[in-house]
Structures are given as structure tokens and as C-alpha cells.
Chains A and B, each alone.
Chain A
Amino acid sequence: MNLTQGAGGGSARPANSARVVIVDDHAIFRSGLKADLDPSIQVVGEAATVEQAIAVIAQQRPDVVLLDVHLPGGLGGGGREVIAGSAALLSSTRFLALSVSDAAEDVVAVIRAGARGYVTKTISGAEITDAVFRVAGGDAVFSPRLAGFVLDAFGTAPADIADDELDKLSARELEVMRLIARGYSYKEVAKELFISIKTVETHVSAVLRKLQLSSRHELTKWAAERRLL
């Protein structure tokens, strides 16, 4: 995986440790992930179903939840349902979605439910460690694929002034998304656009907000129709 923001985002880390809960129904994947994570990340709980996850998160109140999109239990909503069930904690606990699925439907659903980022399960230990710290610091983690989805969903034309602010990306946000989709790290994006890393992070967070809050119902429809990828 080329989730490469780690190359330069280190300076913005808010803390040098993070408490994490891993939610995934495959025990092999959970133990593998635990072994891969940096020692500075403390795994305080694990869960395999929707119910377990909601209980563990409420009890542990971790900084970050690594959340599988597809989970057994609950009403069948998977990761989305876990986020909805932990809505009261959303201000202190951040969710980072993990999935083997690249389907736009899954990605968009879990982001709109409140996740701050989306990465695929083939990601390396160093990359996921960086993503955890980034999410813990309140930033968004966009993989190239998620950036591609955003560009596809919002369209590649910049917003007019007349447009509803939430329904379109600004020219700058489009540039940032394009570079991320091309595999650029935040640092490289900043260098390419002659802006600071902090500004890149601000743009990405703004895009995440639009993705979550846009009332454009085409967004959901688009995701449902786009089965491939």
C-alpha cells in the first residue's frame, strides 16, 4: 500500500502514544495487526462483533478505533453500526476504517457514518501506525483510492460561487485530492503546491467534512451504483 503520509507528517503528531481498540472478526488479522503496530501504540481492547465492539469502546474510551467495515452481529450494519452505537464518544474517540473491500459503497458509508479515514488491510505496519497518530490528532487519512472516490463522486470541476459549498470541492481541494490519488504523501503535496503540511491537512479535513455532511443524495446513489473497484 502506498499510504505514504508518514514520510513527512511526523512533526504534527499531538502525542507520542495512543490507546487503540482493534475491531475485526478475524483473530488472525487482529493478532497480526497488533504485532505490526509500533510499540508506542497501546492496544487496550479487541472485539469481533458489533455488540462487543460497542461495549469495549464504551468501557475503554480509546483514542482510536481500528474498525473493520464488515462485521458480524448487530443489525448487519457492520462498522457503520459500531460508529453509530458509539456516537456519544465521537468527540474523543476517532475511528479509522480498515477493509479488504474497495467497494465505494462500503467506503462512503463508513466515512459518512463518522470515520476519519479509510485504509485497506494490506497496509504496512509503519503506515498504519502513522495513520493512527494522524487520526488521533484529529486529521483525516485519505488513501489514494479514497481520494479517487471523492474525485469521482464530487466531480473534477471546481466549485462555482453559486454552488452549495458542501456539494463541490474548491479548486485547491481538488488539487490536493488529485495529488493524493496519484500517490503523493502530505509532505509531497505540500511541496508540490508550495503550501505547508498543516494547510494540506486542513484541506483534507475540509474534504472529509464535505464527504460526511454533503446532503447531495447523489453521493450515496453514486456509491451504490459504482460496484466496481
Chain B
Amino acid sequence: MTTLPVRPPLARSSDRVIAGVCSGLAAHLGWPVRNVRLGMVLACFAGGAGLVFYAWLWIMVPTADEAVRRNARRPASPIAPAVSRPAQGTAADAGSPAGAPGPVPDGAGVPPGAPWFRAHGMRYGKEILLGCGLLLVAGIMIAQLLGVDVSLGTLIPAAAVLGGASIAWMQLDETRRAGLVDKTKADQAGGWGRLAAGLALVVAGVLVMVSGSGSWEQTWLALLASVAVLGGVVLVLLPWALKFWRDLEAERAGRIRETERAEIAAHLHDSVLQTLALIQRRAGNEHDVVRLARAQERELRGWLFQDPGRESGQLSDRIKAVAGEVEDLLGNAVEVVTVGDAPMTEAYEALVQASREAMLNASRHGGGTVSVYLEASDGLAEIFIKDRGPGFELGDVPADRLGIRESIIGRMKRHGGSAAILSTGDGTEVRLRLPAAAEHAEGKS
């Protein structure tokens, strides 16, 4: 970096008279916009150097919006940068030969620019352009009145060509934006209209200039001929263009597929392959193998069936996560069935902790699969934890064992809910119940 550590990157500003080159350059160099513009206009008289320089910057320098977007589209995934890097390179290449003294633009951030001027430029840019054009016309008319011989025959067509070309060139920014970003058809329709208008103006201007006569009959014939030629050219080039477009689309789709595949491969490698390797090493220990397989199944299921649009952190997610922990801890399967859902609250967290304790007990003492059923609605959450162990008598549990009394029953009571334990010789069921209305009362106490 040179003397100026923070210099806004070179990008065409949205504060524009023609294409925002001058204001972008001014923002980049830190000079007043007016001076840059004046300099550019003056340079135009130096053999048209300003004109060429301006056109060059127009083509090579991205607009501020594009620069920001290009920056934003840099993917966060560790796999994707390999795909998108070439685009980054060209962006920098496009920026550097712009001849700007200073650091190579990296396409990050928006040039600050003076806000008052931007608003001013945005609102009046077109009017100023139009005013200049009218002044020019007036000047020519005055010159004619004063007796200067102005050849309208060449001037009008030249103006038409210039106007058409500028309309079509303004289009460059618009179509790029529309095509790359959201492909809004409405925008494109407007773009096509402008392209057609520009093309018509240019063709008409060129024809009048070339034919030179200005007679309508001849011009009309020439117009017809040129339209026919244009039509022929389109007819010849259309299949090629279509093929090119299709190839481009196919390539893009292929790249997306490739990225997805790489992501899947990376995920499988990190999870399933590692687990399979572990299972092979622990093949002798049935308990470990089952536990590993269960944990991996849970993880893979979550990854496969996770709905990205669904909000996470709901009560059912927490219950499933806790069930997974218990499974990992003790090795017995915990089957969770949920009906309905509710967003997490402090009281629900207590419910989750109580059910975790119940699951641990069920898994430890029941010794088999534990069934967990959660039913949540707006007003009430109920959780049932069932095992098929030998059962127990609550009265027989020593008073110093806090698991059931404190962690389950006491905790539920403190949070405005209730817990019931039903144990028979065929198994035990813990029933937890928490009305949603109780949360608020609890929250204050």
C-alpha cells in the first residue's frame, strides 16, 4: 500500500452524469468531483484523449453496485472459493490497468462520495444532459440565423447516431445488473426496448449519413435493405448464439452440481467414513459398535432430512438433542416421537432438563429402548418417558437420592408444572406436564 492507507476502490459511482466515471475517479483519488470533470472535459480537446480515457474507464471499471455484489458473493464454504476465484482475478485485472495511481482496487466497499452531491446528480443527471443537448441545438440555430453555414444534413444524423449509441451504451450497466442478479423479466423488457430504440436511431443516422442525399425515398429503400441484411445476420447467428448460451448455462449448472457433490463428499468423509473406521477398530465390542452406529445414524438423519427453512431451537429439537446425549452416554436407544412444537422458553428448558433426568433413569434402570413422546401445543407441553425395566417403588428410593425427587418432581413443581411416575413390573412411565401459562408466573419468582 502507498501513502494513503485507506483509499476507496476504483468503481463507477452511482452519482453519475454519464456513467459515473468522473465521480468514481474523484472518490478514489480524493479530489473534488468538479475538478475531475473539468479536467476530463479539457482533456477531450487534447486530441480527444479525455474521450478515449473516459470510454476506457467506462468499460473496464465496474459500477459500485457490481463491485459490492462481487465482493458479497464470495462464498463462505471452504470448497466453493476454488470455483469463484477466477472471477475475482478478472475483477482485479479489470481494475488495475485503469491507470489509477494508487493501490490495486480489490472491489471492496462503496466509495463514500458526497451524499448531497450524489442525490443531486441522481435526480438531475438526465435533465442536465437534456439541457446540454437543447442548448447545443439552440446554439446551432443561432449560428444559422447569424449566417454561419451549418450543414444540417450531416449534423442531424450524427446526433442521431450519438444519441442511439449512448442509449445502447447506458444499457450496458442495466442489462449487466438485471442479467446477473435477479433476472427480473420486467427490467429486461425495458432494457430490450431501449436497445431497440438505440439501434433504430443509430441505423437511421448511419443510413442518412451514408446516403447523404436526405431524400426520403432513397433512405426508405436503404432502410429496408439494411433491415433485411440485419435480419439475415440474426438468422445466421441466432443458432450459434443460442448454442453458446446453452453451453454457458450447462457449464454453470455443472459447476453448481460439482460444488454440491464436493460438499456431500466432504460431509460423508468427516462423518460416515470416520465412524466406519472406528467401527472396524472396535468390531469386538458390540456395545461400542451399536453406540457408534446409533450416533452416526442420528447425525446422518439430521443432515439428510433437515429442512433448512425450518426454524431450529424449538422444544422438539431440544428434546431430540437431549435424547441423543442420553443415547451416547448409556448406549440404549431412545426413540423420540414428537407431535406439535413450541418455541423454547426458560420454563421449557426446565422441562427438557427434567425429561433428560427421566431418560437417564429409564435408560440406566430399564436397560432397553426408551420411548419418549412429546406433545406440544400453544397452551401445554407434555412429555412421556417410558421404559420396560423391572420398575420400582418411589417410596423405596432412599431419601438422599435426589434424581427423581429433586431433578424431576421438584423441578417441574417449581416451574408450575407437574410430574407423575407410574411404575409397574412391566416398566416405568414418567409423565411431565407444563402449561405454557405457568411460565410467566414462574419467570418472576
Give the residues from 165 to 208 in chain A that come closer than 8 angstroms, CB to CB, to chain B. Answer: 178, 181-184, 188
Q: Is the CB of A183 within 8 A of B386?
A: yes
Residues of chain B within 8 A of A227, CB atoms compared: 305-307, 310
Q: Is the CB of A183 within 8 A of B371?
A: yes
Complex formed: what's the CA distance from A227 to B429 in Å?
29
Q: Is the CB of B429 within 8 A of A182?
A: yes
Instruction: Please tell me the number of chain A residues within 8 Å of chain B, measured between CB atoms.
Output: 23
What residues on B are CB-neighbors of A144 within 8 Å?
335, 337, 371, 373
Cross-chain pair count, CB within 8 angstroms: 60
Across the interface, do B375 and A178 meet the contact criterion of CB distance under 8 Å? yes
Q: Of A103, A147, A151, which is within 8 A of B305 by CB?
A: A103
Decide yes or no whether A88 CB sits under 8 A from chain B: no
A120 nearest CB neighbor, chain B only? B335
Asked whether, in the complex, the Cβ of B335 is within 8 Å of the Cβ of A183, the reply is: yes
Please, what's the 1-or-0 string for B375-394, where 1 marks a CB less than 8 Å from any CB in chain A? Answer: 10100000010101000000
A1 to B337, CA, bound (A): 12
Contact A151 B369 (CB under 8 A): no
- Chain A neighbourhood of B369, CB < 8 A: 1-2
Number of interface residues of B (CB under 8 A): 21
Q: How many angstroms between the C-alpha atoms of A7 and B426 in the bound complex?
A: 10
Q: Which of B307, B340, B371 contacts A182 (CB 8 A)?
A: B371
Q: Closest approach, in angstroms, between the C-beta of B196 and any C-beta of chain A?
A: 44
A228 to B320, CA, bound (A): 12
Contact check: which of A1, A182, A188 meets B384 at CB < 8 Å? A182
**Contact present for B305 and A229 (CB under 8 Å):** yes
Any B CB within 8 A of the CB of A4: yes
Evaluate contact between A156 and B377: CB separation under 8 angstroms: yes
Measured in the bound complex, the distance between the Cα atoms of B307 and A211 in whole Å is: 24
Verify A228–B306 contact, CB threshold 8 A. Answer: yes
| Interfacial chain A residues near B335, Cβ < 8 Å | 1-2, 144-145, 183
A4 to B370, CA, bound (A): 12
A9 surroundings in chain B (CB, below 8 A): none
Which residues of B lie under 8 Å from residue A182 when comparing CB positions? 337, 371, 373, 384, 386, 429
> Are the C-beta atoms of A181 and B305 separated by less than 8 Å?
no
Q: Across the interface, which residues of A come within 8 angstroms of B305, CB to CB? A: 102-103, 227-229
0/1 string, A218-229, CB within 8 A of B gives 1: 000000000111
Docked pose: A178 CA to B386 CA in angstroms = 13
Which chain A residues (94-143) contact chain B, with CB distance < 8 Å? Answer: 102-103, 122
Check if B281 is an interface residue, CB within 8 A of chain A.
no
* Given A156-B339, A182-B373, A188-B426: 14 more A-B contacts, CB < 8 Å: A1-B333, A1-B369, A2-B335, A2-B371, A144-B335, A144-B373, A147-B337, A178-B373, A181-B337, A182-B337, A182-B384, A183-B371, A227-B305, A228-B310
B residues at A contact (CB < 8 Å): 301, 305-307, 310, 333, 335, 337-340, 369, 371, 373, 375, 377, 384, 386, 388, 426, 429
20 examples of A-B residue contacts, CB within 8 angstroms: A1-B335, A102-B301, A144-B371, A147-B337, A148-B338, A151-B339, A151-B375, A156-B375, A156-B377, A181-B337, A181-B373, A182-B384, A183-B373, A227-B305, A227-B306, A227-B310, A228-B305, A228-B306, A228-B307, A229-B305
3 closest Cβ pairs, A-B complex: A183-B371, A148-B337, A227-B307
